[in-house]
Amino acid sequence: MIELYNTILYRPLLNAVVFLYNIIPGSDFGLAIVGLTVFIRLLFFPLSVKTIRSQRALNKINPKLKEIKDRFKNDTQAQSAAIMQLYKENNVNPLAGCLPLLIQLPILIALYSAFGAGFKPENLSLLYGFINNPGHIEPISFGFLDITSRNILLVLITGAFQFIQLRQNSNLMKSAPSGFRQDGQKEIQALNSQMLYFFPVMIIIIGWNLPAGLLLYWLTTTLFSMGEQAYIRAKYRD
């Protein structure tokens, strides 16, 4: 399994980021990280749209789901049949929002690992024959940022934008239809409130000793997600 992961995900992404490093003027590894991260997220954009629209479709029929659960609370078989019929009538797949996330997760993990590996010259032996081996990755990016060393300011900036993104998601949940907010939403809102502060703090703690290059990836992903969510909300209001 590890060999398969390395062959189809980790090694190709490592080669991709080194390829970008070779062709970017000035051989800026930080720009290579940003460029490959954005490229991968753009590939996943249709899946992200599908996820958001599936969530919205579920939100719209949630009041009817609650009615079915109340009506057949003593008959689980009839309840399941009614729920499946409701999904069919509204062309809703309850698993459609989860599948894209499951597909993206291993690729994003491999992307994160590939960026970290690029800092170590011994890992450059994994380059394909047609990818030029630079022999050494220049650590200074954007003319001032050492991507191999920790950067406290970048840690704090990453944590701050993660907080903003989570708040953006929280506001989106609050704007859901009233029926959805009433069905178990108090528990969800309580969890979101905890994550709103807990997750950014965890990022700061974890990122405190991470090299700046990995934080640059994390920050790029967060900013892309914020822009992606804003675009999807504006484009798909149904």
pLDDT in tens, 98-144: 665 667 678 778 887 888 777 777 888 888 989 998 888 888 999 89
Q: What does the alpha-carbon distance between residue 17 and residue 15 come to, in Å, rounded to a whole number?
A: 6
* Residue 38: exposure state from Cβ atoms within 10 A (0-12, 13-18, ≥19): middle
* pLDDT at site 196: 67
Domain locations along the chain = 2-235
The tokens describing 102, both together, are 């499951």
Q: pLDDT averaged over the chain?
A: 80
CB 83 within 8 A of CB 65: yes
Model confidence at 155: pLDDT above 90: yes
The tokens describing 84, both together, are 């499946």
The tokens describing 218, both together, are 């994390």
Higher pLDDT, 25 or 49: 25
* pLDDT at site 181: 44
Higher pLDDT, 98 or 151: 151
pLDDT tens for 65-100 read: 888 888 887 888 888 888 888 888 877 776 665 665
Residue 127: how many other CB atoms lie within 10 Å? 17
Question: No. of H helices and E strands in the chain?
Answer: 10, 2
* pLDDT at site 21: 93
Residue 193 banded pLDDT, cuts 50, 70, 90 = low
Stretch 180-203: mean pLDDT: 60
* pLDDT at site 135: 83
Report in angstroms the alpha-carbon separations of 163 from 37, 38, 91, 108, 160.
20, 20, 34, 20, 5
* pLDDT at site 44: 85
CA 109, 44, 209, 11 dihedral sign is positive
Supply φ then ψ for residue 41, to 5 degrees: -65, -35
Q: What does the alpha-carbon distance between residue 127 and residue 17 come to, in Å, rounded to a whole number?
A: 10
* pLDDT at site 236: 64
CA 26, 32, 33, 35 dihedral sign is positive
Higher pLDDT, 151 or 174: 151
The rounded percent of the chain whose pLDDT value lies above 90 is 20
Q: What does the alpha-carbon distance between residue 92 and residue 36 come to, in Å, rounded to a whole number?
A: 33
* pLDDT at site 49: 78
Residue 189 banded pLDDT, cuts 50, 70, 90 = low
* Nearest Cα to Cα of residue 24 among 126, 138, 101, 107: 138
Higher pLDDT, 192 or 116: 116
* Nearest Cα to Cα of residue 164 among 98, 74, 228, 226: 226
CB 17 within 8 A of CB 118: yes
pLDDT tens for 20-44 read: 999 998 889 999 999 999 999 898 8
Higher pLDDT, 179 or 57: 57
Model confidence at 163: pLDDT above 50: yes
Model confidence at 172: pLDDT above 70: no
CB 118 within 8 A of CB 190: no
Model confidence at 230: pLDDT above 90: no
The SS3 of residue 51 is helix
Residue 117: how many other CB atoms lie within 10 Å? 18
CB 19 within 8 A of CB 36: no
The SS3 of residue 147 is coil
